[in-house]
Amino acid sequence: MRYIEPVRAKVLMMMFFATGTIGVVIALSPIAPGSVKMIITLMGVVNIGLGAFFTFILMTQPKKEPDKRKKKKKNKE
């Protein structure tokens, strides 16, 4: 898998956790109709799982080091 910038991974992680939590809360409250509660709950759990996946990616990917080929060499004169 390619390197994902930490800021992008954090934004995706927060987005999935937030939407998953809101989905589960709405599904378990009396707001949602009875026939849709299970689907909303499952989608919320899937979003929480995706948030956990991006947390795992953020924590386990190696730090990106600058490319040494593009570094300018100092002239010794």
pLDDT for 76: 65
pLDDT for 16: 96
pLDDT in tens, 26-75: 998 888 888 889 999 999 999 999 999 999 999 998 888 777 777 766 66
- Which residue ranges make up each domain of the chain? 6-60
Residues 6+ apart with CB under 8 A from 44: 19, 20, 21, 22, 23, 24, 27
pLDDT for 68: 74
Residues 6+ apart with CB under 8 A from 16: 47, 48, 50, 51, 54
Residue 6: HSE in the Cβ half-sphere, 13 Å Cα cutoff: 6
pLDDT for 41: 92
pTM, whole model, 2 decimals?
A: 0.77
